[in-house]
Amino acid sequence: MRPAWSVPERARHYVYDGSWPGLLAVVFTVFSEERPVLSVVRERSQITDLFTEVREVSTDDTQATRVMDRARNLLGASRIRELWYCHRAERAEVDRLIADFLLLAFTGGAVNDVRDPIVLGLRQWRKHVSHEKHQMEAFVRFQENSDGVWTATIAPAYDVLPLIATHFRKRYADMEWLIADQRREYGLHHRAGIVSPVQFIHEPDSALPTPHVQAAAHEHAYVKLWKTYFRSVDIPARRNLKLQMQHMPKRHWKHMVEMVGK
How many residues bind other proteins (CB under 8 A)? The answer is: 54
Choosing from 77, 114, 194, 208, the residue that interacts with other proteins (CB under 8 A) is: 114
Site for other proteins contains 254 (CB under 8 A): no
Stretch that binds other proteins, among 32-40, 43-51, 100-108, 138-146 (CB under 8 A): 138-146
Q: Which is nearer to other proteins, 77 or 233 (CB)?
A: 233
Closest Cα partner for 213 from 166, 260, 254, 176? Answer: 176
**Alpha helix segments (H runs only) across the chain:** 20-33, 61-75, 77-87, 92-106, 117-139, 161-171, 219-232, 241-247
Quote the least distance from Cβ 262 to other proteins, whole Å: 9
Site for other proteins contains 165 (CB under 8 A): no
Handedness of CA 245, 85, 33, 41 (dihedral sign): negative
Restricted to residues 193-212, the positions that interact with other proteins (CB under 8 A) are: none
Stretch that binds other proteins, among 2-10, 12-20, 67-75, 217-225 (CB under 8 A): 217-225
Q: Which is nearer to other proteins, 10 or 141 (CB)?
A: 141
- Residue pair 159/184 in contact (Cβ under 8 Å)? The answer is yes
Site for other proteins contains 251 (CB under 8 A): no
Task: Report DSSP letters for 41-70, one per residue.
Answer: ESSGGG---SSS-EEE----HHHHHHHHHH
Choosing from 48, 148, 174, 206, the residue that interacts with other proteins (CB under 8 A) is: 174
As a whole number of angstroms, the distance between CA 140 and CA 132 comes to: 12
Q: Which is nearer to other proteins, 17 or 219 (CB)?
A: 219
- Residue pair 159/169 in contact (Cβ under 8 Å)? The answer is no
Site for other proteins contains 148 (CB under 8 A): no
3-state helix, strand, coil in the chain (%, to 5): 50, 15, 35
Residue 215 exposure: Cα atoms within 13 Å on the Cβ side: 10
The residue ranges that bind other proteins (CB under 8 A) are 110, 112-115, 117, 120, 134, 137-144, 150, 152, 167, 170-175, 218, 221-222, 224-226, 228-244, 246-248, 256, 258-259
